[in-house]
Amino acid sequence: MERWQRRAAKTIGGVVLLIFLTSTAYHYVAVAVEGRTQSYVHSAQVVVETVTGTGYGSDSPWESPVANLFVMAMDLGTFLVLFIVLPYVFQPILEETLSPEIPRTTDLTDHIVVCGYSSRGERLVDEFETRGVDYVVVAEEESEVLALAEAGVSVIHGDASSVAALDRARIGEAASVVVDTADELAASVVLAIRDRTEDCRIVVLSTDPSLARPLRYAGADTVVTPRHLLGQRIAERVQAEVDPRLSDVTSLGGGISIVEVTVFEDGPICGRTLDETGILEMDDASLVGLWTDGEFVGSPPSDRTIDENSVLLVAGSESRLKQLEALTGPTRANGARVVVAGHGEVGTTVRDSLESAGVETTVVDIADAEDVDVVGDVTEESVLEAAEVGTATAYVVAIADDDEAILSVLLARELSAELDVVVRVNDSASQGKVRRAGADYVLSLPDISGRLLALDVLREEILSYDRQLKVVRFESDDFAGRSLADTKIPETDCILVGVERSGEIVRDVPAEFEFESGDSLLLAGDDEAINEVES
């Protein structure tokens, strides 16, 4: 029985009982006090007339004070009943009529269940939508479920740690499950899943690497820790900048590699055009694009001037890219020092990785702790001066608030124009603003998380997931017989790094290049651009 039906049944019973009792009392007053001779049915009729507001008929007026007081009480009681009964009965009816229905079940099979929803899972859902993969999100808050459903996300309401909710998500017929809940709930969710199925693949997103082992004991197949991996990637990037013996080149296979190179003010190519640098003339390397003024420019013109803090994306042979790194690197004095803002999971990983490599670090955090060197707000210039940011080799911003990160980058850039600034952002939309503020290298936590999940859950062939741009291998059978100009690639922000054909890589692909069946495309771009091509 629906809620409003139960309330209506209770209300009808209560009103009947009230009229019966009131009629009995009124009949006693009319006969014993007023001295009237009338039947009980007549007395009941008078009470019904009073309750419904239709009048009193021949019974008015009343002579005795007791009768008048009783009738007054009935009148007041009628108003109270109306104000209480009507909302009690009709409120659920209005709610069910005017409120959208909350989805609670799904009919999907061979789908992916996402337990919980965050910015990390949001990127994965985008990947699902692009590839037409069936999925359903299990969210606990009704308001969140309604908002997601309105946005077109496949979602049901339920507690992901509840077996009943998992049954409604048809967990037994799912291909895999992504657990994107708070760390303290993840083990309960995994155990609930394993209570229903032993075959389903479970991937857990966690912020704490120490939980990986107990989560695997609970039944998780893979535990992904994006913050920890992001911290390691930032440390690798910084080490490559401060130590000329290290390289940041990433192999894509087939003899082709890719590297992101920061141009420093004191570097040999700063202030020169691309044509003057000779980069465009290299036989075994090609310029894919560059970041400048917060934007990525693909295939820039030869007369483009490279200024300080530009970042070049270059593809080619590993040996040539390492030579390019050495050519563009800054002149570093001995004793490199890195200032790390933020002592959370990312900041701690950066500090540990750098110190294990022998790089001196200065940690700044708003809260005092054992490994914090300077306590204070990194949006205050005096705090950055206390950390000696102006004389540091690099500045890593790993704080939770993107707006505060932007302020900190602006202050740091004013203190030193030569500082290598690396920033972790929590919202992908903040990347452009952070670069315009002066950051040299920006990594987005949601993007990295989504790529890691796509790599594991969708088995997407991502060649480089931990860089500013994603690089993927894309089979071009749908493009067979068409030229590059006839595809949608030139209309997107994607860059075609090369085409693998018969085991060889074709770089500098011209617009008239015709694709063949079996070709593999090496595409670089942000997540949205890659999804647009793959959709």
**pLDDT tens, position by position, 354-364:** 998 888 999 99
Say yes or no: 422 and 489 in one domain: no
Look at residue 1 in the predicted model and tell me its pLDDT.
47
**Residue 401 belongs to domain with CATH number:** 3.40.50.720
pTM of the model: 0.67
- Assigned domain for 454 exists: no
Among 385, 416, 447, the domain-final residue is 447
| Residue 306: DSSP 8-state | P
> Do residue 117 and residue 204 come from a single domain?
yes
Residues 81 and 132 in one domain: no
Which residue range(s) make up the domain with 48? 3-98
Question: Under a CB-based contact definition with an 8 Å cutoff, are residues 387 and 373 in contact?
Answer: yes
Domain boundary among 413, 447, 481: 447
pLDDT in tens, 180-190: 999 999 999 99
CATH at residue 508: 3.30.70.1450
SS3 522: strand
Question: In angstroms, rounded to a whole number, what is the distance separating the alpha carbons of residues 387 and 338?
Answer: 10
How far apart (Å, rounded) are the C-alpha atoms in residues 368 and 231?
21
Task: Indicate if 313 and 343 belong to the same structural domain.
Answer: no
DSSP 240-269: HHH-TT----EEEETTEEEEEEEPPTTSTT
CB neighbour list of residue 38: distance below 8 Å, 6 or more residues apart? 27, 30, 31
**β-pair type (337-341, 360-365):** parallel
Q: Burial letters for 133-154: b for 16+ Cβ neighbours within 10 Å, e otherwise? A: bebbbbbbeeeebbebbeeebb
Whether 235 is covered by a domain: the verdict is no
Q: What is the pLDDT of residue 296?
A: 77
Q: What pLDDT was estimated at residue 350?
A: 93
**Whether 25 and 48 share a structural domain:** yes
How many domains does the structure of the chain reveal?
5
389 with 294, same domain: the answer is no
Task: Indicate whether 212 and 140 sit together in one domain.
Answer: yes
Domain harbouring 45, CATH code: 1.10.287.70
Below-70 pLDDT ranges, the chain: 1-5, 7-8, 11, 52-58, 79-82, 84-99, 244-247, 293-294, 309, 329-335, 459-467, 535
- Dihedral over alpha carbons 308, 309, 310, 313 (to 10 degrees): 130
Same domain, 443 and 349: yes
Boundary (domain end) residue, out of 276, 292, 325 = 325
Phi and psi (nearest 5°) for 504? -120, 150
